Amino acid sequence: MGNAGESNIRMLEQLVGEDKWQNLTLVTTKWHCSPNPDGEFLREKQLQANNKYWKSMCEGPRKASVKRFLGTKESALDIIRPHLDKDFIPAITEQMAAPQGPHLALGDTAAGRVVQESVEKRLRSTGRSAELEDMYRTLQQKFDDLAFQEFLRQREEIVKKQQRQRLGRWAFRLVMVGGAITATALAGNSMAGRAIFSAGAAMEQKWKKQKAESKAILEAHDKGFRGVKQAEQLPATTTDHEPKVEEVDDLGNVL
């Protein structure tokens, strides 16, 4: 693991906060992929015992847990389950966005300082001054609660519209199926019912396009949000941190 990897570990430590490491699970992967099983166990021990890697987070009264992902559903659930009932606020949230917090700029947080120290060295050594200036602008950003609340309000409106569209589609399908069954029974043959289903096929194509458009609208909305505000002395900039969009099917289930 190079210097960048070590910086990522330090950043993770500060993002979560030293007093909250018990909320972390550090996961090892690619088990049983090596012809040398002893080497895999040795590597796991090195990660937990070396100061460059996980040692800090694996020691003390609030230590993180370490688990192995074995490539199975059961293994994944075993990793996830302990976190389902946990409710904690990461250190960077307390520092930037908590109502009673200091509302620091990104670069003034503990995690932000780790990023600046690591990235600044690499950019200076390669003479990438434009990227260095962009990093400084990014680190001056502060969380904008008003913009975030407006983002949530608009997102809720988009999701509610999608839900109404889904309900309308399923209502039409139920009516269509009921009509096909009734027509088949009254006419005494299946052709009448098939005619109704054929008419419904055109609607399915229309709905498919509608679903794609709705998904695109939600994705565009989420990508357009940054939730930060720039320090007054600096021009506005953007970051690459984008909220994840959840896909849902016609029954409202998360895919």
Mean pLDDT of 181-190: 55
Site of tokens 């260095």: 132
- Confidence band of 195 (pLDDT split at 50, 70, 90): low
What the block records as the tokens of 229 is 């505000």
69 or 215, higher pLDDT? 69
Residue 136, pLDDT above cutoff 70: yes
Structural domain spans, the chain: 18-89, 96-142, 145-229
Structure confidence at residue 69 (pLDDT):
95
16 or 145, higher pLDDT? 16
- Confidence band of 130 (pLDDT split at 50, 70, 90): confident
Mean pLDDT of 150-167: 85
Site of tokens 């570990």: 9
- Confidence band of 55 (pLDDT split at 50, 70, 90): very high
Structure confidence at residue 185 (pLDDT):
54
Beta strands (DSSP E) in the chain are: 25-28, 65-68, 142-143, 228-229
Mean pLDDT of 62-79: 93
Residue 251, pLDDT above cutoff 80: no
- Confidence band of 250 (pLDDT split at 50, 70, 90): very low
Dihedral, CA of residue 91, residue 96, residue 102 and residue 108, to nearest 10: 90
- CA–CA distance, 4 with 123 (Å, rounded to integer): 13
Residue 103, pLDDT above cutoff 80: yes
Residue 229, pLDDT above cutoff 60: no
Q: What is the mean pLDDT of the chain?
A: 77
Is residue 11 within 8 Å of 115, Cβ to Cβ?
Answer: yes
Q: What is the pTM of this model?
A: 0.55
Please enumerate, as own/partner, the contacts of 219-226 that have beta carbons within 8 Å and a separation of 24 or more: 219/245, 221/151, 221/154, 221/155, 221/158, 222/155, 225/147, 225/148, 225/151, 226/141, 226/147
